[in-house]
Amino acid sequence: MKVFPDKLPPALAKGLPPVVIVAGDEPLIHMEACDAVRTAARQAGIEEREVLHVENGFQWGRLTESAASLSLFASSKLIELRLGGQAPGQEGGKALEAYAEQMKGSDNVLLIMADKLDRRQQQSKWFKALDKAGLFVPVWPVDHQRLGFWMRDRASHHGLNMDMDAARLLGERTEGNLLAADQELQKLALLLPRGARLDAAAITQGVEDSARYDVFTLSDACLRGERERASRILKSLQREGLEAPIVLWALTRELRTLLSLYQHLDQGQSFEHACKAQKPPIFDKRRPAYQQALNRLPVKRLHKLLLFSQRLDLAIKGASAIPLWDGLHDMALTLAGGRGLLAESPQSYKVG
């Protein structure tokens, strides 16, 4: 049964399940979900704990052995199976299916800790067998549009009051790095009296910029028309030393997707059908961003952007004099809805 992280403690309070799968890429939320399972296990009287790290060459028989072996002083144990980014494979899948059958009547608790599980893995026999018997906790990054509210609630958790301007600023400075955000709030909680109110000035003075981005975050910002955020992300990626071809690939991929969507729509297809026809398909969560981009960007401008991306590719190869990162910045801003030299005439684009 699927349970989101904020609902996990009350779900565990109703009864400790025989298996909990925590999977996702957000370290802070992932860690706290696992801690909630450990706390619930201790409260249920389970004191023994064994950790199994799944690495190349892992012997899956160790899982069965661990479940069967108990100390003289314990009748049950918490088994932590740390998958990380490893897939169980055929052997592991069979071992997990067998465990699902054997755990009936057992007082042991299996905590599976994994990175994000894709759709194929969630459709596997081993996952369905364990999910049916216990809880699945998907851990997703906090959407940046909700990040301010998350920061405000987190500040309250640490005994601080934070206004929304401060919460949004903290979100900007730590986006993609909730561990850093929580550490900053813990630091402020130590320095300030309980109940202290934080405003934007306090965040500006006391919190360093430790946001972490990737090209997919940049693509989303461009599609949503968030020009300032797209600019901030691109500058951050440049400072971090990300290779320019990766940025160009991400932006060009979105251009081709938008042009493909236009082609399907011109053929009389619905937007939903056009999204499903993409490879890979555009899922429900991302469709509003593409719809916003289509409403904002005419086909003619997308073709100009695609033409300019070819010139940027030549610049990467040393065959064009265009300042590369300036060009990528203009391309991202234009994709996000800005208008400049690039949007008007990419052939004559110059910087400086």
Domain at 185, CATH number: 1.10.8.60
pLDDT number for residue 342: 53
Distances (CA, A) of 201 to 22, 68, 76, 185: 37, 57, 52, 15
Single pTM value for the model? 0.72
pLDDT at residue 280 above 90? no
φ/ψ of residue 159, rounded to 5 = 80, 25
**Residue written as token pair 């006391």:** 206
Q: How confident is the model at residue 341 (pLDDT cuts 50, 70, 90)?
A: low
Total residue length of the chain: 352
Each residue's pLDDT tens digit, 65-121 = 888 887 666 678 899 999 988 889 899 999 999 888 887 777 889 999 999 998 889
pLDDT number for residue 246: 94
Count of domains forming the chain: 3
Same domain, yes or no: 130 and 170: no
Among 105-109, 233-237, 291-295, the range scoring the smallest mean pLDDT is: 105-109
Q: What is the CA radius of gyration of the chain?
A: 25
- Last residue in a domain, options 206, 232, 256: 206
Distances (CA, A) of 241 to 116, 210, 214, 244, 268: 26, 15, 12, 9, 44
CA distance 294 to 189: 45
Distances (CA, A) of 144 to 3, 190, 236, 273, 289: 22, 27, 16, 28, 13
Q: How confident is the model at residue 299 (pLDDT cuts 50, 70, 90)?
A: very high
- Of 122, 67, 74, 71, nearest to 100 by C-alpha is 67
- Last residue in a domain, options 123, 139, 155: 139
Number of H helices, E strands in the chain: 18, 7
Q: How confident is the model at residue 351 (pLDDT cuts 50, 70, 90)?
A: very low
Of residues 176 and 227, the one with the higher pLDDT is 227
Each residue's pLDDT tens digit, 116-160 = 998 889 999 999 999 998 999 999 988 888 899 999 999 999 999
Strand pairing class (77-84; 109-114)? parallel
Same domain, yes or no: 172 and 109: no
Same domain, yes or no: 192 and 285: no
Same domain, yes or no: 31 and 113: yes
Q: How confident is the model at residue 345 (pLDDT cuts 50, 70, 90)?
A: low
Among 10-14, 144-148, 347-351, the range scoring the smallest mean pLDDT is: 347-351
In CATH, what number is assigned to the domain containing residue 239? Answer: 1.20.272.10
Same domain, yes or no: 326 and 224: yes
Q: How confident is the model at residue 347 (pLDDT cuts 50, 70, 90)?
A: low
pLDDT number for residue 17: 92
- Of 242, 243, 241, 262, nearest to 305 by C-alpha is 262
Domain of 323 in residue numbering reads as 215-348
Same domain, yes or no: 66 and 189: no
Contact 248, 313 (CB under 8 A): yes
Same domain, yes or no: 280 and 179: no
Same domain, yes or no: 85 and 174: no
In CATH, what number is assigned to the domain containing residue 85? Answer: 3.40.50.300
Give me 26's structure tokens. 């957000």
Same domain, yes or no: 159 and 111: no
3 state DSSP class of 24? strand
pLDDT at residue 208 above 80? no
Each residue's pLDDT tens digit, 183-197 = 889 988 888 889 989
Same domain, yes or no: 123 and 154: no
pLDDT at residue 352 above 50? no
Same domain, yes or no: 198 and 220: no
Same domain, yes or no: 156 and 227: no
pLDDT number for residue 343: 45
- Last residue in a domain, options 177, 206, 235: 206
